[in-house]
């Protein structure tokens, strides 16, 4: 189940107080939205009349026209039965006038919600809706049928078979006790906000900030639709600002400062919303507290499946990495500083020095940069960082040269300890033929390196800084008690796809400027554990991605498993879309199968991973993020993949 919903905000070119014209404009957008397979269509506050009618709201003629206009819209909805529509309009009940939103579908009005939080200006015309006691609006009065409607204080609707939405108004964003929060506690995945707010300098930025914060704290989809620039400009300008947000991120937004006559359409991922909520203990606690003495229910509509297939949903094929360079550089420097801060605190707490193996590869390079910056911030000399290169059978000339260049140019204390003789003797001791290049051959080298680093660190009052990254932990691409082990891991929550960007982003820092040329060469070096001998030309023969698969794919899988708990079918569908220009479906399926097999069978390595700072929203630390039995079966996940 993909769990997408397609939402649209429509801002028509209103003619103030010309209800017949406005109804026809609304119907035009209903037809357009239905043609785009929209599930939920939102219009601005008071869209049927225009929000700037002022004292014309008191006129009988306007309200007679509202009845006819509403009937036009309801009749139009019967021609588009799969579409749910929310339209703003004024409605009378007895002597009171309410600012309302009608929820319409398939030729009928499901319910009518009224605005409770009014501005000072609005109170000249409207009465605030205060709970379910407001009745008296009937279908007969509206020229429809004899069914009665209620103006509800907190309105909630089941949309189709798998979604629930709530209706609020524009003042919700500024409210210290917003109705949207109440609706979210009652299970609304989607909040639609009908607004009519005159624009002033800076208000758009404030509105964006508030909407991001609201959708983030409620882990919801938030669709905000404001009256447009064709409203009266007698005393102000209505901007027509619309936004569709998901969990703190603006997915779609009109770009013009003042706008109208447009339809904004976007797919939103309800699976992501629910996953985030289920993982937030604070959210679950608030739901329990709020609903403890309440009967949780919603206005039921005819059940039907949502139509969105998610094709409008933007996918970042490197989800751990911001897409624009400016955002990426800032993000990478922030992650780097978190790594530095973690190591700095540990070094200060136990008054020791960082010791690490330098291979000339990406992971050890980042760990080295973190170590150098940590001691610099502690006021120590770079020479208090101890780097050791440990060449063996698979070390290539390029990585060997880069390892030495980095250590020299960064001014750390450097050593070379060849492990060839020690590993050869070890093979003799355990009776292993070195011509047999199996896992024993590879793991023997990795464990020997770790043993030397551990023993050497005690001679210089040091701790071994781990270089292994999040991607390697997920795949189990590390030797147990070899490169898997350290005394403090700085890269443990950083995926492989992000590491190269961090190195590039911090390469210009003053402390690293002498080594920039070497750092750029490291970035161009193929990823390899270098545990098998180089080829005849001395080049790296063992390239990791040829064995375990592309890290870009694996990091994509990992992100959606850890962050949202998506299943194989959804992850496969998203990956095929994100990497449509890179891999075919068969390739994605192949490596997805490999990912799940490795992810489940290698949990035992993650259960005892060393301390290490969490720098990203997700990690595999058994202490902070991921707890999983090492014997868990992956049969169900494989069965789902086999059906793809």
**Residue pair 163/274 in contact by the 8 Å Cβ criterion:** no
Residue 397 included in any domain: yes
Residue 149 and residue 201 in one domain: yes
Q: Are residues 284 and 347 in the same domain?
A: no
What pLDDT is recorded for position 480? 93
Q: In this structure, is residue 366 part of a structural domain?
A: yes
Does 621 fall in a domain? no
Would residue 191 count as lying in a domain? yes
**pTM strictly above 0.85:** yes
* Residue where a domain stops, chosen among 520, 548, 576: 548
Domain end (from 510, 530, 548): 548
* 597: confidence class by pLDDT, cuts 50, 70, 90: very high
Range of the domain at 445: 325-548
We report the CATH number of the domain holding residue 510 as 3.40.50.620
Does residue 152 lie within any of the structural domains? yes
- For residues 504 and 442, state if they share a domain: yes
Q: How confident is the model at residue 96 (pLDDT cuts 50, 70, 90)?
A: confident
Q: What mean pLDDT do residues 146-159 have?
A: 62
pLDDT of 538 strictly over 60: no
Q: Is the dihedral of CA 361, 362, 367, 371 positive or negative?
A: positive
Cα–Cα dist 538/597, whole Å:
33
For the ranges 1-5, 352-356, 632-636, the lowest mean pLDDT is seen at 1-5
Pairing between strand 96-105 and 84-93? antiparallel
Give the count of domains, the chain.
Answer: 2
What is the mean predicted confidence (pLDDT) over 380-401?
92
Asked whether 493 and 616 are in contact (CB, 8 A), the reply is yes
pLDDT tens, position by position, 341-383: 999 999 999 999 999 999 999 999 999 999 999 999 999 999 9
Q: Is residue 586 part of a domain?
A: no
Q: Is the pLDDT of residue 134 over 50?
A: no
> CA torsion 376→379→384→387, rounded to 10°?
-10
Does residue 128 sit in the same domain as residue 182? yes
pLDDT level of residue 627 (50, 70, 90 thresholds) = very high
Report d(CA 48, CA 257) in Å as an integer: 23
Q: Where are the alpha helices (DSSP H) in 458-526?
A: 470-475, 496-506, 516-523
DSSP notation for 139-172:
TTTTTS-S-EEEEESSEEEEETTTEEEEEEEGGG
User: For residue 92, what pLDDT is reported?
Assistant: 86
Residues 336 and 273 placed together within one structural domain of the fold? no
Percent of the chain with pLDDT over 90: 72
Angle, alpha carbons 394-395-400 (nearest 5°): 175
Residues 389 and 246 in one domain: no
Rounded average pLDDT over 204-224: 96
**Residue finishing a domain among 548, 565, 597:** 548
Please give the residue that has the higher pLDDT: either 134 or 402: 402
pLDDT tens for 449-502 read 999 999 999 999 999 999 999 999 999 999 999 999 999 999 999 999 999 999
d(CA 563, CA 19): 47
CATH at residue 69 = 3.60.110.10
Q: 182 and 51 in one domain?
A: yes
pLDDT at res. 132: 46
Give the chain's mean pLDDT: 90
Q: How confident is the model at residue 153 (pLDDT cuts 50, 70, 90)?
A: very low
List all residues 6 or more positions away from 378 whose beta carbon is below 8 Å from its beta carbon. Answer: 344, 347, 348
- The pLDDT confidence band at residue 73, using thresholds 50, 70 and 90, is very high
Q: To which residue do tokens 């939102």 refer?
A: 42
Q: What is the pLDDT of residue 130?
A: 67
Whole-angstrom distance, CA of residue 499 vs CA of residue 331: 12
User: Both 537 and 404 in a single domain?
Assistant: yes
Pairing, β 249-253 against β 386-389: unpaired
Of the pLDDT bands very low, low, confident and very high (cuts 50, 70, 90), residue 33 is very high
* 17 and 166 part of one domain: yes
Calculate the alpha carbon distances from 165 to 7, 88, 160, 224, 521 in Å.
11, 16, 10, 13, 52
Residue 297 domain-assigned (yes or no): no
Same domain, 375 and 510: yes
pLDDT-derived band at 297, boundaries 50, 70, 90: low
Largest CA distance in the chain: 101
On whether both 385 and 271 belong to a single domain, the answer is no
Say if 588 falls within a structural domain.
no
pLDDT at 599 over 60: yes
On whether both 359 and 265 belong to a single domain, the answer is no
Inform me whether the pLDDT recorded for 151 exceeds 80. Answer: no
Strand partners, 58: none
Q: Report the range out of 159-163, 485-489, 545-549 with the highest average pLDDT.
A: 485-489
Q: pLDDT grade, residue 643 (50/70/90)?
A: very high
């Amino acid at each position: 189940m993909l769990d997408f919903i397609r939402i649209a905000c429509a801002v028509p070119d209103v003619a103030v107080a010309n209800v017949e014209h406005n109804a026809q404009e609304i119907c035009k957008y209903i037809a357009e939205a239905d043609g785009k397979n929209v599930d939920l269509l939102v219009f601005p506050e008071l869209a049927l009349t225009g929000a700037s009618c002022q004292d014309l709201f008191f006129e009988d003629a306007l309200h007679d026209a509202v009845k006819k206009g509403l009937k036009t819209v309801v009749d139009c909805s019967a021609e588009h039965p799969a579409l749910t529509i929310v339209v703003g309009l004024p409605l009378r009940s007895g002597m009171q006038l309410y600012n309302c939103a009608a929820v319409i579908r398939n030729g009928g009005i499901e319910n009518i919600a009224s605005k409770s939080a009014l501005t000072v200006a609005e109170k000249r015309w409207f009465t605030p809706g205060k709970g379910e006691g407001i009745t008296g609006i009937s279908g007969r009065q509206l020229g429809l049928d004899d069914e009665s409607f209620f103006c509800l204080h907190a309105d909630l609707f089941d949309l189709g078979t798998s979604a629930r939405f709530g209706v609020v108004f524009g003042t919700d964003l500024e409210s210290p006790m917003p109705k949207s929060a109440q609706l979210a506690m009652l299970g609304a995945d989607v909040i639609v906000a009908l607004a009519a707010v005159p624009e002033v300098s800076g208000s758009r930025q404030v509105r964006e900030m508030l909407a991001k914060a609201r959708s983030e704290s409620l882990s919801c989809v938030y669709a905000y639709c404001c009256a447009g620039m064709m409203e009266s400009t007698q005393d102000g300008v209505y901007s027509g600002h619309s936004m569709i947000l998901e969990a703190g991120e603006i997915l779609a937004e009109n770009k013009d400062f003042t706008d109208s006559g447009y339809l904004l359409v976007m797919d939103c991922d309800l699976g992501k919303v629910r996953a985030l909520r289920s993982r937030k203990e604070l959210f679950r606690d608030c739901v329990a507290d709020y609903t403890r003495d309440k009967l949780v229910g919603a206005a039921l509509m005819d059940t039907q499946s949502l139509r969105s297939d998610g094709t409008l949903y933007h996918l970042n094929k490197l989800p751990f990495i911001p897409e624009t360079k400016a955002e990426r550089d800032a993000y990478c420097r922030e992650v780097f500083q978190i790594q530095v801060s973690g190591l700095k605190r540990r070094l200060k707490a136990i008054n020791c020095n960082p010791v690490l193996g330098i291979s000339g590869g990406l992971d050890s390079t980042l760990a080295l940069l973190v170590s150098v910056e940590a001691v610099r911030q502690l006021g120590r000399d770079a020479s208090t960082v101890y780097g050791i290169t440990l060449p063996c059978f698979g070390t290539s000339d390029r990585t060997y040269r880069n390892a030495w260049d980095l250590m020299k140019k960064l001014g750390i204390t450097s050593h070379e300890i060849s492990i060839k003789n020690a590993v050869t003797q070890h093979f003799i001791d355990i009776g292993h033929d070195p011509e047999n290049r199996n896992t024993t051959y590879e793991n023997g080298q990795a464990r020997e390196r770790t043993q030397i680093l551990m023993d050497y660190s005690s001679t210089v009052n040091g701790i071994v800084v781990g270089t292994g990254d999040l991607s390697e932990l997920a795949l189990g691409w590390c030797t147990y008690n070899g490169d898997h082990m350290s005394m403090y891991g700085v890269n443990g929550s950083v995926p492989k796809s992000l590491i190269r960007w961090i190195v590039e982003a911090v390469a210009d820092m003053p402390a690293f400027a002498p080594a920039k040329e070497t750092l750029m060469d490291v970035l161009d070096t193929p990823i390899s554990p270098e545990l098998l001998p180089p080829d005849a030309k001395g080049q790296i023969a063992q390239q990791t991605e040829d064995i375990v698969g592309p890290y870009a794919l694996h990091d994509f899988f990992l992100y959606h498993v850890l962050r949202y708990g998506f299943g194989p079918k959804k992850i496969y569908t998203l990956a095929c879309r994100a990497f449509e220009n890179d891999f075919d479906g068969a390739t994605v399926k192949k490596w997805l199968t490999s990912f799940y097999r490795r992810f489940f069978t290698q949990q035992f390595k993650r259960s005892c991973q060393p301390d290490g700072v969490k720098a990203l929203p997700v990690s595999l630390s058994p202490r902070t993020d991921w707890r999983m039995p090492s014997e868990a079966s992956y049969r169900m996940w494989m069965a789902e993949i086999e059906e793809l």
